[in-house]
Structure 1
């Protein structure tokens, strides 16, 4: 799909951060994604696969959401608004998206209603028209006038297919802050909280107090109170992270006023890691901050932002306090003494583990969007299996035995896509080997594999990071790094995966992008591996003494084109050729033919083809071997003979 996300952040950067997390998730799922930002210029990190468009920026001062300012603080004129509209509409017409997501509008950003409504009108006029979704956080600020609520509902019903609520109703249902009526209720889809950085955290010893605020200058009172409170609590180190919206002059003044046991520095990209090692967090209660707290399990003192009659952060903070996860200092009561009292109480409080809260909102948003796009015509076209059938017949006439096995790459968590993969595994009676990325593993995947007898884990590199120089084919374990460094990383990956999966892990190394340095292959047995799997016919059964190599050979994805299904005729022809090579001895007859899939990026066309292929082979009584049989000790002994 082609996905266009439109966001304008006016105060802090929270809205942009959440929209960027959605953009990354769509891109990682294989969808062409463009993110349009209309707020203060700031390109979020990690958007390498996402097209980024910056509109002429607008912002506000304080909490005056009715007066738009430019980057110099001057009121925005009609010329700038026209420039924004022209660039936004040009992007829409050039990109021609299948999915459009507007962040917050029409539930907010009424000051930009003219811009958004023109954009929506043009989007609906496209042929074929995109599916239009609204993206909102867990808590909204409803307008005081009933007619504006009715206007919002009318715009939703006229223009939108779904409302993505990035929250968990077990924490705060949308009805708590917005009057949901029965007309829009069917459009509401809870996704769970959107985590901007879902990488697993390395927990360790907790030490010191970490103070953070949003990206705007609204946190200055909190910073000043924290510095003064630190004077009273000097037996622990304090670290205060200052947002980029605070001027250099104010930043310098804060540093000069801090005692020696307090470190003052600008906000850091490793904030989440600092939080995981802090004894206590002091912060506001913005959306992204609360997600960080839930993910890191940090004790918290919350000072919710409440200027301009804002209630969002206070409500979120109250919910965390009710769950035993935080202390609250109301902004109106903020003082060094009150903050120091709350810090002491927080330090002495027994930490409560958070309840089971859904933090996979970005991935679920992708799933919702995918479900709204009409099925591709290719889903209904018949596949000509005759070349495959003739190759199978030739193998049978010559007494050859054709065997298949199945490897699926890039698994990290139990997801809806994995549900579909395992459903296919059961219906086709085909066991599957999941090549997992150790650095990104979630506990849910280990729990899932322990429930599925027919699924096993293999080790898919360490982090699936490309270390090849620009212009060369991608590789994580190619000839671009020292063998010792790569061997140590591979061994670490094996230990991490073994801790997660236990007996469901097969010690088989699957190099990302199917490329591996021959020198590293020699080291794998010493690191604890007994198997290796890449792509294309193996040249010999083992790459090193005691290492059995069994590759994959058929990949249904058109990686260099649509990233959807390759031409089925080509796939069937490659299957037939793989069988013939084994019959006539051009390939190792003992190597089963490997099907390679990537469940996280499959669209319906790819899923349907894989289902048809497996059912066709099952009808021909062609077995899929279990991965533990493919890499069994008996096969390793045979390969070494």
Structure 2
């Protein structure tokens, strides 16, 4: 089985994320798969990408550890236009590659500043039919989150959008919960691969180990280590120092480091780094992922000075695990100086050489095997789903035929909730609507809505926007079902928020607005219902309930999302059974379909496609457009084999 695989990675400070992703891409390519790697960071000359199609996005970087301030290659802040272009490129690449597997490196556990583009990619992937597997790829140790909300958001995205998480580490050395909270749901998705060994093979030793190799990664983050090592080399020149600095260190700093030292003592990083390590008596380095793998393979004595600026906890955690196994000594960055480094070097050289470490370094091959197994496992599930949907469609078709035989009409309409912006999922929703010629009442959240939503729907007049509460905030007390307009708040507050919601909706949506009220979670206080007409609303739509006294009400009856369980597709047989019963037990009554495009996975999209393919063209079905729901547009189309209200001219 040859797979098409898309890997998206953006490195911001060093090159470790790109190096690891490139090694995974090469391993997949060697196994015969077609791989496209999309890089969003600065180009790195020493990273090998042979056999892999590469695409470079407009590059971003950070300075220091301010990961919230994204900069372009010249050091200027990234503009919204550049970020929009990156998002569009990712979605276009997805469409062009049509991958079987999509891998996002670090996201959603990190790269929150680029969440919009990663979500655009993943949501577009989930909307494809058939949908690719979506996997996260993370290193052994993550930055420990400082807010519970970050953990909750990450876990929600994993549960909703991802099929698995590849952890490129050895759980016996560092379990993931040493740096990140792991609950039962996340634990089920974790797949430990072992460490990915990026480096080349080591040539046979030609003599005893000698000298000290100092390294600090590809960025300027190792400058403090380089300076301490250069000063230590001046104090103890007989140690045989070789200080390899990153390619991105400014030339002026590079020249200053080498001042007064023998030529060649300070040099740029080089591709034979691992060979140098294999002959060194001691390595002095930070504790980045790829450096540590190099140390485990090459086997020198090691002094680790983990990078700890800002909130960085990753390298210290990894270094201490290695030190606990006798594989390295740790010199904290805060204690770094030339004398302290010389003391650590002396202790390191006097220590016995590291023995067999037993750490799993077969991560590249095992990652390939895991991806292949997950893809093979998913294939029959998709086939089984299509079979079940087809059988359910037969039952629905028979119910519609029976209604037609009795001369009955089956009115049908569609509402979609929680819209806030134009996204790939919204485009998929509208494309599905157009392909079946079923217009949608799109319930948008006024306080959260972006201009892109109104812009997108301005060109789609058959669809209209309804008012989905004010900000979709839950005001229910603990233990109660969530509600924004529930009976837990004073009636005056409910009316004030409903009035503000309508004001914002008119301001933001203009002619696309149909002033109908759709309460979040389909819950509202009875006192609010009669007040809506006085506020200027023309209708109300919620879950199935009693008719309103002063305002037109049209409710929904079928929601395909399993909100209390998997958050995927409910049992298709039960969904179709509910439709069949409604058609039989409520002849002539409208049937309302409710969807939530932002959370749909491939199975839900498939189900909707199959459902609409049966309902929309059936001669007994009357498709109701949004303007026909609340008596706003009584003009009806000329009779035809298919009754469709709000049809285009």
What TM-score do you get using the length of structure 2 for normalisation?
A: 0.57
| Post-superposition offset of 1:87 | 1.2
Paired residue secondary structure (2:376): coil
* 1:135 corresponding residue in structure 2: 137
Cα deviation for residue 209 of structure 1 reads 0.6
Distance 1:27 1:151 in 2: 33
Shift of 1:38: 0.3
| Structure 1 outlier segments of 4+, above 4 Å | none
Aligned partner of 1:216 among 216, 219, 230:
219
Q: Deviations over 1:582-625 (max 9, x none)?
A: xxxxxxxxxxxxxxxxxxxxxxxxxxxxxxxxxxxxxxxxxxxx
| Conserved 8 A contact 1:301-1:328 | yes
Q: In structure 1, what is the equivalent of residue 538 of structure 2?
A: none
How far 1:235 sits from its partner (Å)? Answer: 2.5
Per-residue CA deviation, residues 46-78 of structure 1 (Å, 9 max, x unaligned), is 322110000001111110011111111111111
Offset of residue 232 of structure 1 = 3.1
- Is 1:237 matched with 2:233? no
Q: Highest CA radius of gyration, 1 or 2?
A: 2
**Matching of residue 251 in structure 1 with residue 254 in structure 2:** yes
State the secondary structure of the residue aligned to 1:184: helix
| Residues 23 and 198, structure 2, Cα contact 8 Å, conserved in 1 | yes
Gap change, CA 1:69 and 1:45, over 3 Å in 2:
closer
8 Å CA contact 1:100, 1:131 repeated in 2: yes
SS in 2 for 1:308: coil
2:237 and 2:96 map into 1 onto residues whose CA distance is 59
Q: Counterpart of 2:40?
A: 38
Whole-angstrom CA distance in 2 between matches of 1:342 and 1:135: 35
Structure 2 distance, partners of 1:240, 1:44, is 17
SS at match of 2:320: helix
The aligned counterpart of 2:345 is 343
> 1:361 aligned to 2:363?
yes
- Which of 111, 127, 143 aligns to 2:113? It is 111
The alignment partner of 2:238 has SS state of coil
Question: d(CA) in 2 for partners of 1:354 and 1:314?
Answer: 22
Aligned runs of 1:427-576 on 2, under 5 Å? none
2:191 corresponds to = 189
- Structure 1 residue 357: deviation in Å? 1.0
Query: How far 1:269 moved relative to its partner?
Result: 0.3
Match of 2:55 in 1: 53
Q: 2:177 maps to what in 1? A: 175
Residue in structure 1 matching 2:210, options 207, 212, 216: 207
In structure 2, the CA distance between the partners of 1:189 and 1:25, relative to structure 1 (3 Å rule), is: same
Could you tell me whether the CA contact under 8 Å between 1:201 and 1:296 is conserved in 2? Answer: no
Query: Do the aligned residues in 1 keep the contact of 2:46 with 2:271 (CA within 8 Å)?
Result: no
Q: Report the Cα distance in structure 2 between the residues aligned to 1:261 and 1:63, rounded to whole angstroms.
A: 32
Indicate the residue corresponding to 1:286 in structure 2. 288
* Equivalence map 1:66-85=2 (5 Å): 66-85=68-87
1:155 paired to 2:154: no
Name the SS for the 1:282 alignment partner. Answer: strand
2:168 aligns to what?
166
In structure 1, runs of 5+ residues without a counterpart are 381-641
Distance of 1:25 and 1:269 partners within structure 2: 19
Per-residue Cα deviation, 1:279-327 (whole angstroms, up to 9, x for no partner): 1001101010000000011110111100002111111111111111111
Distance 1:337 1:44, change over 3 A: closer
Cα 1:117–1:245, aligned 2, differ >3 Å: closer, same or farther?
same
Task: Answer whether contact 2:106 2:137 (CA < 8 A) is retained.
Answer: yes
**Matching residue of 1:145:** 147
Q: In structure 2, which of residues 291, 311, 314 is the aligned counterpart of residue 312 of structure 1?
A: 314
Which residue is 1:412 aligned to?
none
Take 2:285 and 2:129, find their aligned partners in 1: how far apart are those partners? 47
CA distance in 1, matches of 2:356, 2:103: 30
**Matches of 2:16 and 2:159, distance apart in 1:** 27
Give unmatched runs, 5+ long, in structure 2: 384-649
Q: Paired residues, what number?
A: 377
Match of 2:541 in 1: none
Are the counterparts in 1 of residues 87 and 116 from structure 2 also a CA contact under 8 Å? no
- Residues 323, 354 of structure 1: 8 Å contact kept: no
For residues 478-522 of structure 1, the C-alpha deviation after alignment (integer angstroms, 9 at most, x for no partner) is xxxxxxxxxxxxxxxxxxxxxxxxxxxxxxxxxxxxxxxxxxxxx
Q: Is the 8 A contact 1:236 1:261 kept in 2?
A: no
Q: What is the aligned partner in structure 2 of residue 326 from structure 1?
A: 328
Distance in 2, Cα, partners of 1:20 & 1:207:
32
CA distance in 2, matches of 1:142, 1:354: 30
* 2:67 corresponds to: 65
Shift in alpha-carbon separation, 1:200–1:225, aligned structure 2, 3 A: closer
- 1:594 — aligned with what? none
Distance across 2 between alignment mates of 1:107 and 1:56: 23
1:100 to 102, 119, 129: 102
Separation in 2, partners of 1:79, 1:314: 37
Q: Please say if residues 202 and 298 of structure 2, whose CA atoms lie closer than 8 Å, have aligned partners that are also in contact.
A: no
Look up the match of 2:448: none
Instruction: Sort the Cα spacing of 1:43 and 1:265 in 2 relative to 1 into closer, same or farther, 3 A.
Output: closer
CA deviations over 1:427-447 (Å, ceiling 9, x no partner):
xxxxxxxxxxxxxxxxxxxxx
Cα offset for 1:257? 3.6
Q: CA deviation at 1:45?
A: 4.1
1:352 counterpart (351, 354, 368): 354
For the 8 Å contact 1:325–1:354, the answer to whether it is kept is no
**Cα RMSD after superposing both structures:** 1.6
Q: In structure 2, how many angstroms separate the alpha carbons of the residues matched to 1:212 and 1:142?
A: 25
Deviation at 1:85, TM superposition (A): 1.0
On the 8 A contact 1:237/1:261 being kept in 2, the answer is no
Q: Once the two structures are superposed, what CA deviation does each residue of 1:418-462 show, in whole Å capped at 9, x if it has no partner?
A: xxxxxxxxxxxxxxxxxxxxxxxxxxxxxxxxxxxxxxxxxxxxx
What secondary structure does 1:183 align onto?
helix
Q: Note the 1:383-402 alignment, pairs <5 A.
A: none
